Amino acid sequence: MSLASGIVRSVYEDLRGIVLAPYNLAKEFRYTYHGLQRGEIPPKHVAWTWISTFGAVALAGLLMFPIYWMLTIAISGGGIYSFEFIPTNPTIENFIWVIGPLTVPDNIVINGPLVGELFRIPVPASIGGLYILDPAQFGMPRRPEYYSGFIAYAENSAYVSFWTVVVAMAVIIPGAYGMSRRDFIGRKKLLYLYILLTQVGGGLGIAVLIALYTIFQNLGWLNQLLPLGIYYGAGAVPFNTWLLKTYMDGIPISYEEAAIVDGAPSWRIVYEVIIPLSKAGLATVFVFIFLAGWTDFVIAQLMLDQSNWTLPVGLYDYSGRPSEMDWGNFSAFALAFATPLMLVYFFAQRYIESGLSFGGMEG
């Protein structure tokens, strides 16, 4: 079972579970009802089930309430002066504001990292400049400055994360393989160091921020996305090397021995045995590395100017001073930023809950 089909299947199962929940619930109700009638199920049990389930749902609702509140603000048009559980005049204006006008470009330009423009594909004049999303339909102006710039920020974030992933993967995969399968002087010391560093995460970067800023300023790296991306990649090395190493430890060594007996050179063993077998581990590591660059705020807000802001910095800017901010716009921007990540967590919960042990994930 490949990783992708495994994920698709479990997401499908979760969705089916949600869709079928009313049906199953009805079945259970009928069973309980008959059981009660015949006196097979004590009423006390039923009462307890109701009370505990209700309590748990209420608790979950309470914990999620701030996020739900954001959602109601984002979709209610008339301001937020009083909370409405279900907004009476829902509108998507705020979300249109986040995305901004979308047009078919006159030319499709494909940029390569570092080298700039690679290809330029002209678009037929008949459809070039047409609106895909026309704000005028919603009674909003077509001026791009009116809108949030979400897409521009997202492009900056994507550029940073691209380099983070490329640089980090390039050093983490061989590093994890070396740690897992080879021996050399200082291997245990290095592993110990990495384990130490995995424990506390984020604060280290902030604690050395002053030094980092001075170095970046001295090298002329301020307000540049590429060094920032590499920096995030460097910070991701200890945790992810350790994680991937742990995963690779679980791959039986006999596969490699078989490949050696067949005369495969070591690069082929890595390329054709280890990497395909560690797909699940690689996917997890990929997500963690990607998120490191995608979600960081502290370093980015110090290093970057407005022209190069990433999504978190842009979001922070719209929060402004609470008395002046447009709450509807802010909420929509925040949700557009966070919802995809929340959904990933919702569906990945069972894997995360098993303690990152990859227990249920077959490669």
Partner 1 sequence: MSTVSDAAQRFKESDFGSVLEENSSAALVLPGLLLWSMFMLLPMVYIFILSLTNAEPANLFVGDGRLLGLVPLGEADFIGLENYIELLFSIQAANHILSGAYGSVLDLFLSDPVAVFNYQFWNSFLVTWAFVIVSVTGKVILGIAIAMIMTGNRVRGKRYLRGIIIMPMGVPVIFSILVWRAVFSGAQFGLMNQLLLNIGIIDQAINWFYDGRWLAFSTYVVTEMWLAYPFMVLITVSALQNVNGDLLDAAEVDGAGFFSRMRHVILPSIRRPVMFGTILTSAASFQQFLIPFVFESGSPNRENELLLLFAYKEAFNQNLYGKGAAISLTALFFIGMFMWVAVKRGNLAEEAGEA
Footprint (CB under 8 A) of partner 1, residues 124-183: 167, 170-172, 174-175, 177-179, 182-183
Give residue 195's identity as a one-letter amino acid code. Answer: I
CB of 109 closer than 8 Å to CB of 347: no
From the list 88-96, 97-105, 256-264, 323-331, the region that binds partner 1 by CB under 8 A is 323-331
Nearer to partner 1, 142 or 350 (CB): 350
Binding positions for partner 1, 254-273, rule CB under 8 A: none
DSSP secondary structure letter of residue 137: G
Geometric angle at alpha carbon 227, from 225 and 231, rounded to 5°:
115
Nearer to partner 1, 5 or 53 (CB): 53
Q: Does 250 bind partner 1 (CB under 8 A)?
A: no
| Candidate residues 100, 101, 135, 235; the one interacting with partner 1 per rule CB under 8 A | 235
Closest CA to 109 of 99, 123, 125, 127: 123
Q: Which of residues 331-360 bind partner 1 (CB under 8 A)?
A: 334, 337-338, 341-342, 344-347, 349-350, 352-355
Q: Where are the extended beta strands (E) located within 87-142?
A: 102-103, 107-112, 116-122, 131-133
Q: Is 233 exposed, middle or buried (0-12, 13-18, 19+ CB in 10 A)?
A: buried
**Contacting residue, 165, 230, 303, 304, with partner 1 by CB under 8 A:** 230
Find residue 109's DSSP bridge partners.
120
Closest distance between partner 1 and the C-beta of residue 117, in Å? 29
Closer to partner 1 by Cβ: residue 56 or 133 = 56
Q: Choose which of 208, 253, 258, 260 interacts with partner 1 (CB under 8 A).
A: 208
Choice between 147 and 330, CB closer to partner 1: 330
Stretch of residues binding partner 1 (CB under 8 A), selected from 2-10, 103-111, 199-207, 257-265: 199-207
Q: Can you tell me the distance from the alpha carbon of 311 to that of 313, in angstroms, rounded to the nearest whole number?
A: 5
Name residues contacting partner 1, limited to 58-117 (CB under 8 A). 59-60, 63-64, 66-67, 69-70, 80-83
Q: How many residues bind partner 1 (CB under 8 A)?
A: 105
DSSP string, 180-249: HH---TTHHHHHHHHHHHHTTTTHHHHHTHHHHHHHHHHHT-TT-HHHHHHHHHHHHHHHHHHHHHHHHH
By DSSP bridging, strand 107-112 and strand 102-103 are unpaired
Cα-Cα end-to-end distance for the chain: 7
Least distance (Å) from partner 1 to the CB of residue 77? 15
Near partner 1 by CB under 8 A: residue from 27, 45, 142, 143:
45
Structure tokens belonging to residue 314: 């842009």
Q: How far is the CB of 356 from partner 1 (least distance, A)?
A: 10
